[in-house]
Chain A
Amino acid sequence: MSETKQFCTFYLGDLIFGIEVLEIQEVIRYQEMTAVPLAPKMVHGLINLRGQIVTAVDLRSRLEMPPLPEGQLPMNVVVRTEDGAVSLLVDEIGDVIEIDGDDFESPPETLHGVARDLVDGVYKLKERLLLLLNTPKTVNYATHPGADSGGRRQAA
């Protein structure tokens, strides 16, 4: 019997993702942001988190998904990384769930594109599949320089 872990879950379109709770600093509502000119597309802006300046990464853009429909505001999932806090913008927050390690599987071979790089594996929940996001890779732009190219974004 392997150990169980707690995951914070969130939604992007019709997908459900999870990040281990230990990596998460906090979850906050949408904040006013300062856009950064010349920045990579995935950087949505900067937020002021109690005096600390935190980069907000648009997770939809990072995963090459179409942008959130107009009028809908994303939520901030603030994760701890080696280089300080980074906020991930997600559509909606789900529950914190406890999952048994036995339910883990590597991502299927058919998964390709940027998701292949950023998804560490899949947890088989009762009703659906939870995608486990690799946060260091997600916030690290350098590992995937192609994410910024406009052509690929439109294709997605």
Chain B
Amino acid sequence: MTDELQQQLINDLLIESLEGLDRFDKELLALENHSGGAETMNIIFRVIHTIKGTAGCIGLCKIESTAHVGENLLSLLRDGKLQSSSEMISALLALSDALRGMLRDLEASGTEGQRDHSVLLQRLRDLQTATRSPAAPAPAPDAPAAFGLFEDTPAAAPAEHRAEPGKPAAAEPAQAAKASIADSAIRVDVVQLDKLMNLVGELVLARNQIMQNTTQLDAAALLIASQRLNLITTELQGSVMKTRMQPIGNIWTKFPRVVRDLSQELGKKINLVMEGQDTELDRTIIEAIKDPLMHIVRNAADHGLEMPAVRAAAGKPEEGRLTLRAFHEGGQVNIEFIDDGQGINAARVKAKAVERGLVTADQASRLSERETHNLIFLPGFSTVEKVTTISGRGVGMDVVKTNIEKIGGSVDVQSSAGLGTTIKIRIPLTLAIIPALIVTSGGERFAIPQVSLLELVRLESEDAHKKIESIYNAPVYRLRGQLLPLVDLSRDLGLDSRKSASADGAVNIVVVQADGRQFGLIVDAINDTEEIVVKPLGKQLKSITCFAGATIMGDGRVALILDVLGVAQHAGVISEVRDHGIAGDGKAAEKADNRQTLLLFQASLESCMAIPLSMVARLEEFPVSSVERAGSQEVVQYRGQIMPLIRIANFVSGAAAADTAEKDPLQVVVYSEGGRSVGLVVAKISDIVYEALTVQRSAARDGILGSAVIQERVTDLLDVPSIIRSADPTFYKAGIN
């Protein structure tokens, strides 16, 4: 057998076995909870059996013999000769850790490692003959193996772990090697591959057609071919993206095990509930959030949930509940961790932050409840007096926050004392292709990622001079009463300002947000939004923090992608020190709770309405002539789909019927969900505001959630789902299928 072949066999064994062991853990826990089906025992048995067989085949005796002992015990269990007990499950889990350890050593060093598992093996053998002798207490779990915590999760430590070559196989190298083989390979559905192959075939055909036509110059045929090319490319892009998508459940499989180990170690009772395991995410993102999520779970189990006695005294069920929920919303993935524990103790958090010198006592006293909760994300913060092995080493939540923000996500925490804590994470679906706004400045095009974009403001020439004021040469603009610092992009980047002056003297301001601060970028022109493919910049340009990368535009030229945070720092809008949120003045802090961005519009001429901007996919205008009918439903063709139109005025009872003299073009708010879109026809789009929302009067009218005062006007909050449901009952069902 050649070395190469041997290595290949080992690689296959590693991938297969590590996957198998994850399944093994999961099924064992199901067995313990009696939630598994008839197959559970067979799956458990098969995993160990396969590992034994494969390892034996390629001469890995230690793995083989270890697995063999486990198999003996399992065969007794399977045949019903033994009843499973908690002790047995613990021992089998320890076996899974031991095997995993050997596999990782094998991966790192090519040998099965030096670990001694004789205690564990003896324990497994004892269990085979065990007839519940009460004299023998549960053997002390051999510490390193029984709690696989530190091998499984390099607790998101800021210092990067590198495998030190000199060190023998121990926990350390196991951490570093972790990201290698099982994580670099990916399993793709054969159906998916077939589809890709088909699409590529189509692409080749379309290319051939175009090649022929360029010689003959047949305009009509060329048009057909290019349309076809367009379709195929879009579909191909979608398909390829899909191969990279993985259900988030893949990283959640480890959590039940972790929670079980934790609850045993801490003496707590924890019920872990997971919802939305099928929510799909790009593989690279899955990798990036793995450790932060694990950290949050551990944190919730350690600090969030109380001891059973404490819970009982507080009138709560002894068993704490930790719910993980993932779902798609507005083109992003939301992950929530909800526990019903003690909540965050605001007074203690403040005291600790002051003690650690993170805020001054004066600042602390002015913080809102929500801001106080967010203090836990500051570097160097930890409230636990007792540092446990599980969490509280001061490298906690700030690392979680940094890692999530690094991939363009955000973390938020809400908590009410005594009732529990909810941590919400929002992350983009993928990092490879992002929506972006294309702007021009100094004759060059730049892309601004949509995630950092808030709104666009255009000042006509006569307004521009009056409305842009300056404080010691620092231009500012009053955006709804708040001062917005302005940055002239061409000046900041040192571009040719001669090319800058826009023809009509109007000023375009792109309002962006970086690190919680808003500022306006003055650009020469705003072109369009586009989906762009992010490409990295060369090493020579890495030091320029203003750019996040580059992309190739439709005409084949390169455009730079702005890193809004970098631009802000370069222009001095944000100082390097992250002092926001603490220095925020009291007035803003008061308002900070339940603020959200709302789209204001008028359904008919008098009424003022609002919906959360997060529900809006796009704002579009359609000429009245483009409206067609499908049955009784008004529809338009939109991005290759048929989009139903709903006239809000007709659906909201109480609103005056739509004006007979119809506006042309129609103002349409596009709402998308599950790949389907629906257009809400409104009379006029008024504004976008970021305001605290207090529903003052809950209305009994259909399609209205309630009313609130926004910008000194009584505004109805539209209940979009209910309106869509009443207009098109199949919308949500079809979206799910």
**Residues in chain A within 8 A of chain B (CB atoms):** 32-40, 42-43, 45-48, 51-55, 57, 83-84, 86, 139-141
Contacts and interface: CB of A to CB of B under 8 A. Distances in A.
Contacts of A84: 538
A35 B444 contact: yes
B431 interface: no
A87 B723 CA distance: 57
Contacts of B557: 32, 34, 48
Given A34-B559, A48-B556, A53 B493 contact: no
Given A34-B444, A139-B540, A53 B558 contact: yes
Interface stretch (B87-95, B148-156, B544-552): B544-552
A28 to B, nearest CB: 14
Nearest to A34: B558
B494 interface: yes
A53 B552 CA distance: 8
A37 B494 contact: yes
B203 to A, nearest CB: 14
A43 B558 CA distance: 14
B558 A52 contact: no
Contacts of A140: 539-540
B539 A83 contact: yes
Contacts of A141: 539-540
A86 B538 contact: yes
Interface in B534-593: 535-541, 544, 546-547, 550, 552, 556-560, 570
A53 B550 contact: yes
Contact of B560 (A36, A40, A51): A36
Given A37-B495, A38-B494, A52-B535, A57 B546 contact: no
Contacts of A39: 540-541, 544
Contacts of A45: 558
B551 to A, nearest CB: 8
Contacts of A40: 540
18 contacts: A34-B559, A36-B541, A36-B544, A37-B444, A37-B493, A38-B493, A38-B494, A38-B546, A39-B541, A39-B544, A43-B541, A48-B556, A53-B550, A54-B538, A55-B538, A83-B538, A86-B538, A141-B539
Contacts of B544: 36, 38-39
B540 A48 contact: no
Nearest to B551: A53
A48 B494 contact: no
Nearest to A46: B558
Residue in A84, A86, A141 with the greatest tally of chain B CB atoms within 10 Å: A141
A90 to B, nearest CB: 17
A96 to B, nearest CB: 26
Contacts of A55: 537-538, 540-541
A78 to B, nearest CB: 12
A93 B558 CA distance: 25
A37 B559 CA distance: 12
Given A46-B550, A51-B552, A34 B539 contact: no
Q: Counting chain B CB atoms within 10 Å of each CB, which of A38, A43, A86 scores highest?
A: A38
Contacts of A33: 558
Nearest to A43: B540
A51 B538 CA distance: 14
B649 to A, nearest CB: 48
Contacts of A86: 538, 540
A123 to B, nearest CB: 28
Contact of B558 (A37, A48, A139): A48
A80 to B, nearest CB: 13
A17 B210 CA distance: 42
A35 B557 CA distance: 11
Given A37-B546, A38-B494, A48 B560 contact: no
B562 to A, nearest CB: 10
A63 to B, nearest CB: 15
A48 B536 CA distance: 12
A150 to B, nearest CB: 13
A128 B442 CA distance: 45
B535 to A, nearest CB: 5
Contacts of B546: 37-38
Nearest to B489: A37
Nearest to B570: A38
Nearest to A85: B538
Interface string B523-541: 0000000000001111111
A48 B69 CA distance: 60
Interface string B685-714: 000000000000000000000000000000
B537 A53 contact: yes
Most A C-beta atoms less than 10 A away, residue of B442, B550, B570: B550
